[in-house]
Amino acid sequence: MINRFKACSILLTISILTLFTSCSNDDDNKVLSSKKEIIEFTFKTEDNSNLTANIEAKIDQDKKIISVSFPFDTNITKLKPTISISPNSLINPKTKAEQDFSNTIYYTVTAEDKTEQKYKVEVVIEDKKLSDREILLEFYNANPDNTLYWDLSDSTMDSWYGVKHTDGNVTEVTIINKNIATLPPSFGSLKSIKKLALIKGQLSNLPEEIINLTSLTSLYIVSNNITEIPEEIDNLTELKDLNIANNKLKTIPKQIGNLKNLESLHIRDNELKEIPTEIGTLSNLTTLSLGGDNIANVPTTINNLTKLNRLYFNLINLTSFPIDLKNLTDLTHVTLHCKLISFPTEIGTLNNLTSLSIINMDLASFPEEIGTLKNLVTLSLDNNNLTGFPKGINTLSKLTTLAVNNNNINAVPDEITVFTNLKTLSLNGNQLVSIPKEIDKLTQLTSLNLENNKLTSIPAEIGNLKYLEDLFLEKNELSTIPQSVCDLKSKNNTTIFIDSGVTCN
């Protein structure tokens, strides 16, 4: 019996030892976690009596940097952060341990497998929050040579040139030709501003903070010297009008294509060599103005802008015209100032067109397609090589303005009388030797420009134009003009521009 008991005891002991050894081996084989991240880093008001709101830091896990921004004048020498870390890891200093964050602080996270990771805390103290008036005062003082002549004692800002506000919140700043050279970063804190226009100044750059003006609907930085636009311009999601013409921009950021509310875009007269294709995504654009001496091509994506009403191309070196105008049927105004190889005949399909300017295209003849534009009110064919007055033009009976300056036209056809609605007729810089007496049928004419031609006489019937306000006759071969024309001065208060020595007859 005793032997049997001993045997059982021995077996039990062996089993226990085996089980213990097995568990020990399991513990030895356990994979220890290597996770050692700071997941959250927050300064809570309940632990920091000098804070009025919880402040959550941003954690860059790639660079292992904890970034936190405190309001102006915050005491950061005794702060307690609440820290969340990877499971089964440890951190030193510990969570909620008071630290002086005016010094550089490092936190070390130790993983379960004893590996370590350091995090650096970077602290920024925000600038003092200025009132809108204080921001404009800072702007004024940053431009000591300005000619704004603001009364700085005016606490209401009501008398300040170019400034509009509502209860002290600035809503508009429009400053033209006042010697403005600097836009301080604090301008980015004008949270209520909807329109910013700085025109004819000396600005060479825009502060990055301009992208904080998220209420802006209109931004005009025109005729300055800026060389770049912040890539984050797409932060201005409410922007409807953007005019950055006549600067020194070399590129336009592709992010401009994200301004989905944009309706008007002017980027002419810069140092651009190309236009970003992303412009074609601006589906609400109604006005597009492009220009520059170095641009040889424009993106075909402009064909997607089916809401365009106004299209202005001032591109003297444009080598081709990839725009399919048949897609842009809403166009009412088109200006082409460029030397194209061929004229875009699709213009004849633009039935809504009311204004057309074809300038510097070296046209030797009038494109017959223009004769189909029955709704045309304004037509300019300046600086071409037209030798005759446009044929078929008599179909454009709605014209109120006709300009064919600086061509080689030597005669005005009698058919000009069909333009009974014409108010402005400009034929400056041609080879005209005579004017038909039927010109008095243009009874609504207010301006007649016949300067710089070869006229030796003008018809007395011009004196019948009772609404004529301006008559330009300089640089011709006139020695006299009819008395009836001279009488327009006294009868209608017409201003007559004529060379000295020309008399009334």
In a domain, 449, yes or no: yes
- Give the alpha-carbon dihedral of 8, 11, 15, 20, to 10 degrees: 100
In a domain, 435, yes or no: yes
Residues 51-109: tens digit of each pLDDT: 999 999 999 999 999 999 999 889 999 999 999 999 999 999 999 999 999 999 999 99
Q: Which domain holds residue 86?
A: 38-125
Residues 353-395: tens digit of each pLDDT: 999 999 988 888 777 888 889 999 999 999 999 988 767 788 8
Q: What is the CATH number of the domain that holds 75?
A: 2.60.40.2340
Domain-ending residue, one of 90, 125, 160: 125
Q: Which residue has the higher pLDDT, 170 or 412?
A: 170
In a domain, 485, yes or no: yes
Q: How much is the pLDDT for 9?
A: 54
Give the Cα separation of 473 and 94 in Å (integer): 91
Q: How much is the pLDDT for 153?
A: 96
Q: Quick one: pLDDT band at residue 293, thresholds 50, 70, 90?
A: confident
Residue range 345-350: average pLDDT? Answer: 86
29: exposed, middle or buried (Cβ count in 10 Å: 0-12, 13-18, 19+): exposed
Residue range 494-505: average pLDDT? Answer: 95
What's the DSSP call for residue 127? P
How many H-runs (helices) and E-runs (strands) does the chain carry? 4, 26
Domain-ending residue, one of 81, 102, 125: 125
In a domain, 453, yes or no: yes
With a cut of 50, say whether residue 189 has pLDDT above it: yes
Q: Quick one: pLDDT band at residue 21, thresholds 50, 70, 90?
A: very low
In a domain, 114, yes or no: yes
In a domain, 107, yes or no: yes
Q: What is the CATH number of the domain that holds 496?
A: 3.80.10.10
In a domain, 470, yes or no: yes
Give the Cα separation of 313 and 311 in Å (integer): 7
Q: How much is the pLDDT for 421?
A: 96
Q: How much is the pLDDT for 287?
A: 98
Task: Give residues with Cβ within 8 angstroms of 351, minimum separation 6.
Answer: 329, 373, 374, 375
Min mean pLDDT across 33-47, 282-296, 313-327, 480-494 is at: 313-327
Residue of 217, 310, 225 lying closest to 266 (CA atoms):
310
Residues 129-181: tens digit of each pLDDT: 899 999 999 999 999 999 999 999 999 999 999 999 999 999 999 999 999 99
**Is the C-alpha dihedral spanning 307, 311, 315, 320 positive or negative?**
positive
In a domain, 141, yes or no: no
Residues 111-137: tens digit of each pLDDT: 999 999 999 999 999 877 899 999 999
**Tokens read off for 354:** 């009311």
Q: How much is the pLDDT for 309?
A: 97
Domain-ending residue, one of 125, 143, 168: 125
Q: How much is the pLDDT for 296?
A: 85
Check if the beta carbon of residue 236 is closer than 8 Å to that of residue 219: yes
Q: How much is the pLDDT for 369?
A: 83
What's the DSSP call for residue 293? T
Give the Cα separation of 500 and 469 in Å (integer): 20
Give percent of the chain with pLDDT exceeding 90: 79
Q: How much is the pLDDT for 407?
A: 95
* Count of domains for the chain: 2
With a cut of 70, say whether residue 14 has pLDDT above it: no
With a cut of 70, say whether residue 259 has pLDDT above it: yes
Look over the chain and give the mean of its residue pLDDT values, rounded to a whole number. 91
What's the DSSP call for residue 45? T
Give the Cα separation of 219 and 451 in Å (integer): 40
Q: What is the pTM of this model?
A: 0.75
